[in-house]
Structure 1
């Protein structure tokens, strides 16, 4: 069963609801993405998503597998998107979430995918 905080996260990303993204993270949360600086705190994290997805006006994260181990949740994702000039972008990723003790917010998120390949697809 997917924890509600994870469901809220993916619903917000797919809907580009950055206010909801901000609220699903703990106030002192961290976001780590391969090849990028660590983002800290709700405001920095919420500002990150529209910047990263600016090159992909059409995008959808499809959750393909969820593994829950207490407050750590590993999620496999199939990302499907399209650039502004109509090029399709598809790749697989893994997100590792550390939830708060009560499971209501995300304290830490590590995202893992081939950032160099995605950069080539979106240039």
Structure 2
């Protein structure tokens, strides 16, 4: 069982199960997503559009939370991403997500991982 707040557990469950509509109530209307190597997504609509677009390249994927650190409304998760591209090649990497919560929803998420290592794995 995770030690993360329910909103963070819900975020990962929705991503892992491709239930992108279930992400909407987890995000503040003015929420922000900052993913390393990508422009910031500002506002719930922009944030929600990001996930299906990024994950479309994977035939399967799973974010496994391996560690949770919490200080008030700040939650840090270490993640092991494992997936497979549509051509069958595996992709795996570690990441860190930093969540800022307010009133039980996500107001800011920054996601950190080695973009060069991921690019080498997904390049044709």
Equivalent pairs counted in the alignment come to 121
TM-score (ref. length: structure 2): 0.94
Matches within 5 A, 1:3-18: 3-18=5-20
How far residue 116 of structure 1 moved from its aligned partner, in angstroms, is 2.1
How far residue 61 of structure 1 moved from its aligned partner, in angstroms, is 0.2
TM-score (ref. length: structure 1): 0.95
SS at match of 1:57: strand
What corresponds to 2:49 in structure 1?
Answer: 47
CA contact (8 A) 1:23 1:42 kept: no
Higher strand content, 1 or 2: 2
Structure 1 ranges of 4+ moved more than 4 A: none
Matches within 5 A, 1:77-96: 77-96=79-98
Matches within 5 A, 1:52-71: 52-71=54-73
Task: State the superposition RMSD in angstroms.
Answer: 0.8
Gaps of 5+ in 2: none
Gaps of 5+ in 1: none
d(CA) in 1 for partners of 2:46 and 2:118? 22
